[in-house]
Amino acid sequence: MALLITDECINCDVCEFECPNNAIYMGPEIYEIDPTLCTECVGHFETEQCVEVCPVECIIVDPDHTETEAQLLDKYKRIIANSHAA
């Protein structure tokens, strides 16, 4: 599953720098998460780093992008492979 930042986001800027996959970016009004890059930190950490640092708890599981842990690990491996190829 990818994560989603809700409209409760206060644009505090802390989550963007915690994401190991650079999946978090500033959208038109609040921070957003690219579901093609979000692995919920699988492959990097045991917990979602953005969720850990969010002061208003506005980062939730995105119901439109559900994935198993195995799928998240596969996505992580593809992202890592692509970053080494660049």
Its domain, for residue 10, covers 3-85
What is the per-residue pLDDT for 12? 96
- Count: domains in the chain: 1
Which of 47, 42, 30 lies closest to 71 in space, CA to CA? Answer: 42
| Residue 52 belongs to domain with CATH number | 3.30.70.20
Q: Could you read off the pLDDT of 50-78 as tens digits, one per residue? A: 999 999 999 999 999 999 999 999 999 99
pTM: 0.91
**Cβ neighbourhood burial of 85 (10 Å; 0-12, 13-18, 19+):** exposed
